[in-house]
Chain A
Amino acid sequence: MQRTRRQELVRLMVQAMQDMGFSQSAATLEKESGFPLESAAVAKFRDGVLKGDWTLVESLFPTLELDHNKDVVVVRFLIRQQKYLELLESRQIKKALVVLRNELAPLEFNSERLHSLSSFMMCSNAEDLKRRAEWDGAKGTSRQKLLVEIQKYISPSIMVPEHRLETLLEQATTLQRISCLYHNTNEYISLYSNHECDRSQFPSVTTHIFRQHTDEVWYVAFSNNGRFLASASRDKTAIIWSLETWNLVHVLRDHMDCVSFLSWSPDDSKILTCGQDNVLKLWSVESGECLSTMKKHDEPVTACAWLPDGKWFISGSQDKNTYLWNLDGTTIHKWPGARIADLAINKEGTRMVAICHDNKLHIYDLITKKEEATMDESAKLTSICLSSDCKYALVNLSTKEIHLWDIDERRIVRKYLGQKQGKFVIRSCFGGIDQGFIVSGSEDSKIYVWHREHADLIETLSGHKGAVNSVNWSPVNPYMFASAGDDHTIRMYVFYLILIFTSFFISYQINIILYMIINRWGPPGSADHNGKMKTP
């Protein structure tokens, strides 16, 4: 190891030992290696600040090797400010005034702060001072905080930043986590070996196929509690499936034309379906009955979404009108102007993002009901999906690209390529425990999965025959997702953690049996019948 690196490592180890309370070991290491953590002067400086010995502190300034003259002024100001506040706290007003006039003012630094400081003279008592200055006193954490502030201006090799080794280890585990292509777990990342999630833990195998639809399935969505799946199909019905019994629960049959979209209410008691017959229908999940039909649009209803309290919902359509509805079927607000292809609402219900026919994304503030912004895209958009923190939006383009937009900064942060689409509406979604995967359907009957950060294509799953129209990941189980295809089927991809334990156990048993067989009836020269070795 290089000499500089050795010195750095030893000093970091000393600091870490001191942090963990092993001060004797720390002192031994300093002596044995000859690399003290801090020079004596710096140690005195640190001590001086924590004890409030300001004269000592100021005299040790030259040892700190502060870079610029500007920095010297700033640090002096910070120290003298603390001195002043402590004097005020202990009600030594006259001394405080002397500090203010003769030590703080001549620095000619930050006159605004200087004015605030002088106003604290008016405080009637220490409590008032602490409140007004947002300062917790000499006995509080203010001295430690002062030290941390001063350290920003001191070279880190003179005064090592706090908990530096711990910070470096955090960085290493974060890097490993980000590099892990199949990362889908919240387990503790050990320092003993490099973290890498196994590919076999990704749900890449179809475990169930639902075949009851009689025509193309265009959309699937998990319920918010993850116990049910609902699908919308060209056969004019929507179906609710149970993910506990893996059976059909209800067929929602009432639409006059294909059902292209649906949305679960926040409490999973109701479903809204959007039809190409221009109507919106509200269904009860428990009974499977249609509770009401909303006939306001003149063109197919393309998307709908609930507000978080479950009392209002929004529907978008190709007829240029987007409506905010009440549960009783009355419209409260109308946003005219854009032909909406898909929309999504954030968790708090304060913002709606919609994609329209003119290749634009629209952001609406749901409280003021005004349009906040419009972002242009380069081609026809077919679907939009919001991340769970509602900071990012995923859009599919008909030019075979998927774009990840940062909504607050209004720019594209990632592009995902590889899937095929052009004519049809293909949808994508976020997946995995930290939403670290991007999953999309495709017109070539495969499902594509990308690593969200690196935009690497990590999986291509075959199985469907015909276009895969929609994919949806379970909101509660990070190892389960569903896909809907033109082949009238819905495929479920589930990874069961229990399978690993089962196969370990079985293989262990098989090993034992094999060992016994070989040792009892093995080749000549091995242990004989009684377990004794034959000597030649």
Chain B
Amino acid sequence: MGLTYRTYLNGNRIFGCSKCRTHLSTTDSIISKQFQGQHGRAYLFDTVVNVEEGPSEDRHMTTGLHTVKDIFCSRCRSVLGWKYERAYEQNQRYKEGKYILEKQLLTDVN
């Protein structure tokens, strides 16, 4: 795959990859802060940039069965969280198409 330039965001508070500081998302995009990932707290974001998606997997989570794709930083390829592809319970459908980023793997970028 060829040369890509990273996307840059504007906003008050920008979250970036903790390893390479690539912009990922902003506070405006947060839907919920009440999620749990493998490394502790995680946030549900509406839109995220500069990430690549892995293959689809079915996972059983505390909230039920979901189809998810792990997401990686496009620059340093470190795992950042996952994206919800499908939710199999009606009350979980709001998560479809949204992204989870783990708080531990993020850093503030001004």
List chain A positions with a Cβ less than 8 A from chain B. Answer: 216, 218, 234, 258, 260, 300, 302, 318, 339, 341, 357, 382, 423-426, 443, 467, 469, 486
Contact = CB atoms under 8 A, between A and B. Distances in A.
B3 interface: yes
A278 to B, nearest CB: 11
Contacts of B3: 216, 218, 234, 258, 260, 424-425, 469
B5 interface: yes
B11 interface: no
Interface of B: 1-8
A423 B4 contact: yes
Contacts of B7: 357
A486 B2 contact: yes
Given A216-B1, A218-B3, 14 more contacts: A216-B2, A258-B3, A300-B5, A300-B6, A318-B5, A318-B8, A357-B7, A424-B2, A425-B4, A426-B2, A467-B1, A469-B2, A486-B1, A486-B2
A424 B4 CA distance: 5
Contacts of A425: 2-5
Contact of A423 (B1, B6, B8): B1
Contacts of B2: 216, 218, 423-426, 443, 467, 469, 486
Contacts of A318: 5-6, 8
Contacts of A469: 2-3
A357 B7 CA distance: 8
A258 B5 CA distance: 12
B24 to A, nearest CB: 15
Contacts of A423: 1-2, 4
A-B residue pairs, 7 tightest by C-beta: A424-B2, A425-B3, A218-B3, A467-B2, A469-B2, A486-B2, A260-B3
A216 B6 CA distance: 18
Contacts of B6: 300, 318
Name the prevailing secondary structure of the B interface residues. Answer: loop
Contacts of A426: 2
A469 B2 CA distance: 7
A216 B2 CA distance: 7
Nearest to B10: A358
A443 B2 CA distance: 8
26 contacts: A216-B1, A218-B2, A234-B3, A300-B6, A302-B5, A318-B6, A318-B8, A339-B8, A341-B5, A357-B5, A357-B7, A382-B5, A423-B1, A423-B2, A423-B4, A424-B1, A424-B2, A424-B3, A424-B4, A425-B2, A425-B4, A425-B5, A443-B2, A467-B2, A486-B1, A486-B2
Nearest to A302: B5
Contacts of B1: 216, 423-424, 467, 486
Nearest to A486: B2
Nearest to A258: B3
A377 to B, nearest CB: 15
A337 to B, nearest CB: 13
Contacts of A300: 5-6
A339 B1 CA distance: 23
Nearest to B7: A357
Contacts of A258: 3
A300 B74 CA distance: 14
* B1, B3, B4 — most chain A CB neighbours (10 Å): B3
A34 B7 CA distance: 78
A424 to B, nearest CB: 4
Nearest to A319: B8
Nearest to A341: B5
Contacts of A302: 5
Contact of B8 (A218, A357, A486): A357
B21 to A, nearest CB: 9
A426 B3 CA distance: 8
Contacts of A424: 1-4
Contacts of B4: 423-425
A302 B2 CA distance: 14
A300 B50 CA distance: 15
A29 B36 CA distance: 101
A104 B1 CA distance: 78
Contacts of B8: 318, 339, 357
Nearest to A216: B2
Contacts of A260: 3
B104 to A, nearest CB: 24
